[in-house]
């Protein structure tokens, strides 16, 4: 009974989508659920890592802190996404700090169990490698934009990526996206909060976007304009 309950719990994750009941039960036997509050640090860069984490609920930010104390956000990860695999795969310390940006629930799996799961289930290994490839592509794009684009270009690309990943097209010609804070956007595109606020206000004045609470409405024509300019 317990095992059945656990199997259906794990089946919801895309990472485990190809597994049969027996395989899911073996994951359930080694996985634990951990909860964290908003702003809790899940782990710090440079720590030794021994656990793989899959997000059930909530969101985390993957960050690096510069020697001057400036935060650089490498990525925001949400439900169904995972982190903490790198230190387990390359036996090096944690590559970044991971912080809960809202209350979160994680499924955690210890190193040896995780490595055994990868060895026994190619569908999972393939998905982990696919995600690592996607993250490497994103990092390459980020390096390219930092080296070749001004801040306006980087903000335009940020909105294009956000619209592509999580935008909801509306019938009135806008795409709705959930807006990270101006400070988070600044930390993602390598500029100051003041610059992000000024650029967003310029875009609002030109009617290219509207901001309402935590939602930004991007005009589809603005996204076309951004695309053409990049």
Give me the least distance between CB of 98 and ligand CMP, in Å please: 5
Question: Does 55 engage in binding with ligand CMP (CB under 6 A)?
Answer: no
Helix then strand count (H, E) for the chain reads 9, 12
Among 24, 27, 73, 98, binds ligand CMP (CB under 6 A): 98
CA distance 65 to 136: 20
State the CB neighbour count (10 A cutoff) for residue 208.
Answer: 19
Which residue stretch of 29-37, 90-98, 110-118, 210-218 sits at the interface with ligand CMP (rule: CB under 6 A)? 90-98
**Of 19, 31, 94, 99, the one binding ligand CMP by CB under 6 A:** 94
**Of the residues 135, 182, 193, 220, which one makes contact with ligand CMP according to CB under 6 A:** 135
Q: Using CB under 6 A, which of 15, 24, 28, 96 touches ligand CMP?
A: 96
Four-CA torsion 50, 53, 59, 65, nearest 10 degrees: 20
User: Which residue, 42 or 218, is less far from ligand CMP as judged by CB?
Assistant: 42
Q: Which is nearer to ligand CMP, 24 or 98 (CB)?
A: 98
Tell me whether residue 122 is exposed, middle or buried, using C-beta atoms within 10 angstroms of its C-beta: 0 to 12, 13 to 18, 19 or more. exposed
Sign of CA dihedral 187, 190, 192, 195: negative
Measured from the CB of residue 35, what is the shortest distance to ligand CMP in angstroms?
19
* β-pair type (51-57, 174-178): unpaired
We find the least distance from the C-beta atom of residue 39 to ligand CMP, in angstroms, to be: 17
Q: How far is the CB of 97 from ligand CMP (least distance, A)?
A: 7
On whether the CB atoms of residues 63 and 73 are closer than 8 A, the answer is: yes
CB of 165 to ligand CMP, least distance (A): 13
**Packing angle between helix 182-189 and helix 193-205, nearest 10 degrees?**
110
Does 73 bind ligand CMP (CB under 6 A)? Our answer is no
């Amino acid at each position: 009974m317990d095992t059945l309950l656990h199997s259906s719990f794990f089946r919801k994750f895309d990472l485990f989508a190809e597994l049969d009941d027996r395989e899911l039960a073996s994951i359930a036997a080694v996985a634990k659920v951990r909860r964290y509050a908003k702003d809790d640090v899940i782990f710090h860069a440079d720590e030794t890592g021994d656990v793989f984490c899959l997000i059930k609920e909530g969101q985390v930010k993957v960050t690096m802190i510069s020697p001057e104390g400036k935060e650089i956000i490498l990525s925001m990860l949400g439900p169904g996404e995972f982190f903490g695999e790198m230190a387990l795969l390359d036996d090096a310390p944690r590559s970044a700090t991971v912080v809960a940006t809202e209350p979160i629930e994680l499924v955690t799996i210890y190193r040896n169990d995780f490595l055994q799961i990868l060895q026994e289930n190619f569908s999972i290994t393939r998905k982990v490698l696919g995600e690592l490839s996607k993250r490497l592509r994103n990092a390459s794009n980020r390096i390219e934009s930092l080296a070749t684009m001004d801040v306006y270009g980087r903000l335009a690309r940020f909105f294009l990526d956000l619209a592509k990943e999580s935008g909801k097209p509306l019938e009135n010609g806008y795409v709705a996206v959930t807006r990270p804070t101006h400070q988070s956007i600044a930390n993602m595109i390598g500029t100051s909060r003041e610059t992000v606020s000024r650029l967003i206000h310029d875009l609002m004045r030109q009617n290219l976007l509207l901001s309402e609470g935590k939602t930004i409405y991007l005009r589809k024509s603005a996204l076309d304009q951004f695309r053409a300019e990049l």
